[in-house]
Each structure stands twice: as structure tokens, then as C-alpha cells.
Amino acid sequence: MKKALLLTLIFSYSLSNAQGLQELFTQSTDAYKKKDFGSFLTLTQKLDNIRPSHPRITYNLASAYALNGQKEKAFEVLEKLIRTNNQTAFESDSDFVSLQSAPAYGKLLLLKKELGLEVKNSKLIVSLNIKDLHPESVLFLKKSNTWLASSIRKRKIVSFDPKTGKCTDWLAEVGILSVFALKPDQDERYLWVATAAMPEMEGFSKELEGQAEILKVDISTHKIVERLKTRGSHVFGDLIVSKKGEVFISDSDQPVIYKITGGTVQPWLDLSGEAFNLQGLSFDAAEKNIYISDYLKGILKIPADHPESGKWMDFPSDATKKGIDGLIHYKNSLIAIHNGVQPIRIVRYFLDDKGERIVRAEVIDNNRKELDEPALAFAMNDMLYYFGNSPWKAYNKDFSLDNNKYEAPMLFSYLLSR
């Protein structure tokens, strides 16, 4: 374990929980320094159970297994880590010397190279003319023949020309927060919009922190007819609308799925203690099940009639559960936007007939230089659409944008029936 990697952990928990985890991490590193490798392993296993898929903890776990002579487990954890970050530099770490003569070691080195290969299947359609729009999602409204993009930075929704990229304000009322997901109802009468206060948005203030709203917008007039919120701190990142008009919402701040009931935002499924960072939502074709991605744990399948009986899906051995943001169910497959891994990739997971198990994975895009945190996607007529880049990494400490660190929003498409 390199000294450079002994860093203070930052956890997405309450302050008290974060302090407890930090204390446990400190104990584990103290045990490592004292060469008490048995305690180092025990403590790191506890950390991994509490906070799975954390890169620092996962690396330490592989190190602990290797130092305790548990080579098979060390290789297993290292492979998991490399599939989430192929830049993991373990080769010069003396903790792994005991592994270097094993055939599995060479396979890890080969895996790093394979994950670095560029896969380019999606095609660039257009770049938008508002460079600092910072889009999160894209949508096409069939009845009005309108393309829409949401904006984190500008706190609005724009329509755009798919040939020229020229944008026009579609919804830009004062007081709107950062705009995340856009979903119409069955008749395209109303547009449901997930919003949240983000430091990256123009006009952010500390007083707005934790605020989030669901907007119901009349599509014909572009006017907000309802603004719905609930108590507490929230980041409403995605939503889905059933054919019956039911609206379900994912919250990236609290591990809770909400549902609009009686004109109010109400908890529908509390995943506290089970989920960490909820992201994309999608119905299956019959709307009997809801699939939701968690940034750390993967994908949870939830029966709509019995949400308490949801199950986490097993992934193929050659795939990673981590870093899924956008999630779409399409023709008995799940299309996942993995933007929390390195390299970034877009993967289609094909399901069994019951939609309960992933039977194989197909990489759509991988390690493309154009892909810089794609987020939510949209599928229509066998075509997948998504913005391939967003400037999350281009913000300065004061949340101003460095114009030299990002490109104008690029819309990509991919033919799913190929």
C-alpha cells in the first residue's frame, strides 16, 4: 500500500457516520503500519462491508488479502478494482510482490490494456450552440416534433435544432433550479421535470442548498402548472411516468424513491441501509417492475406492486456494477451509462425472459475521448440518444466554469437494433 494512497476518506454519509468510518479507516492504516496484517484485513473487510466499491478501501482490501497469503481473493478484488478503474497502479506496490509469479497476475495486466481500448459505435449528431449549457438529459416530443435538453448550469430547458444545434429557451422561468430529468406523460400533455439546487448552477446560494422540486409543465403553453417539493435535503435526479400517470422519483441525496400521491411528493420505498446513491430509473415494458441504479451497488429490480421484495441484480464476471448513472430498459435489456468508472463506458445488459438476470453484456462505447460524464439517455424507435459530455470537471473552486476545459454539448445516437 503506497504512502501516497494513505489519504483521508470522504464519505457520502452523515457527519457522525463519516467520522465513524474515518476512525475505522485510521485504525486499519495504523495496523498496516505496525505490520499487523491480520488486523489490517479484518478492519478493511469491515470498511468494505459498510462502504462497498470505495476505490481506496477496495485497493486496501486487495493489499490485505495479498499480505495475508490469500492470493485468490487478492486477485478477485484487484480484478474488481481494475474493472472500475483501469488506471489502478498496483504493479510497483511491494504489497503485491507475492502475486507476480502467478498466471492470474499477467491476466490482470492484459485486462488493464483491454479496458483501455476505444470502442466507438455511437454517432455524433450535433453540437449545441450554447457551450456552457451543461445538459443532463435529452428528450424528443413526438406530437410537437420538439427536441429538448435540460440544463444544470443555466437552470432551464431549451429546445434545439438537431441539424444546426441552435438552442431556444423552452422553459426559463425565474426560480427554477438545476434541471435534471425530463419525462412526458402518455399523451404528451404534461412534462414532468426533476430539479435540484446545485453549486454548479448560476445564482446558487447557501440558502438554496438541499432544495429540490418536481415541476409539472403544460407542454402546449410551456407553463409550470405545479411545483412539488418535500421536506428535507434532496437531489431529485431522475423520474419516470407510468402510462397511468404515476410519477416515481429517485433521490441522490437520500436513498429513497418517492412517488407523487395526491399532489404531494411522498416516500414510496426507503432504501436506507441498503442503497447509497440512487440514480437512473426505468420501468420494464409492462410496467410491472422498476429498475433503479445505485452508483455503488449496481441495479435493483423492484416489483411495482411489492416494492419491499426488490432484489439486487447479479452482473457478469466481465462487467462492473459501479458508476451507473443513466439507466433505460429497452426490449428486455438495460442500457447503462457508466460514468463513475475509468474509462467511461456505455453498456447494454441483456436480460433473461423474466427480466431477473443479466445473461450477457455488450459494450456500446468505451474510452472515447468525446465521452466526459454522459448522464441520462433517451430511447425511441430503436435509437439511443444521449449527450456525451458535460462540464462537471471544468468547474473551478468557486464553481465558475473554465472555458478551456470542456467542449460544447455533443448529442450522440446509437442504433439498438444493429
Mark whether 307 and 170 lie in a shared domain.
yes
Residues 104 and 125 in one domain: no
CATH number at residue 384: 2.120.10.30
* Domain edge (last residue) among 64, 95, 115: 115
d(CA 148, CA 167): 9
pLDDT above 90: residue 82: yes
For residues 230-253, average pLDDT: 97
Give the strand pairing for 178-184 and 135-141: unpaired
Q: Is 80 exceeded by the pLDDT of residue 321?
A: yes
Instruction: Over range 148-172, report the average pLDDT.
Output: 98
How confident is the model over 187-210, as pLDDT tens digits? 999 999 999 999 999 999 999 999
Which has the closest alpha carbon to 147: 130, 132, 133, 168? 168
Rounded Cα–Cα distance for residues 96 and 283 (Å): 44
Q: Does 169 lie in the same domain as 58?
A: no
Using the predicted structure, report yes or no on whether residue 11 has a pLDDT greater than 50: no
CATH number of 58's domain: 1.25.40
pLDDT at 1 over 80: no
Q: Is 148 found in the same domain as 42? A: no
pLDDT of residue 18: 65
Q: Which of 115, 146, 174 is the last residue of a domain?
A: 115
Q: For 172-251, where are the E strands, in sequence order?
A: 178-184, 190-196, 212-218, 223-228, 236-241, 247-251
* pLDDT, tens only, 323-365: 999 999 999 999 999 999 999 999 999 999 999 999 999 999 9
Q: 241 is in which domain, residue-wise?
A: 121-415
Q: How much is the pTM?
A: 0.93
Together in a domain, 380 and 292:
yes
- Computed over every residue of the chain, the mean pLDDT equals 94
Is pLDDT above 80 for 287?
yes
Considering the domain architecture, whether residues 283 and 196 belong to the same structural domain is answered as yes
Q: Please, what is the Cα angle at 284 between 281 and 288, to 5 degrees?
A: 105
Which of 61, 87, 115 is at the close of a domain? 115
Residue 89's nearest CA partner among 4, 170, 19 is: 4
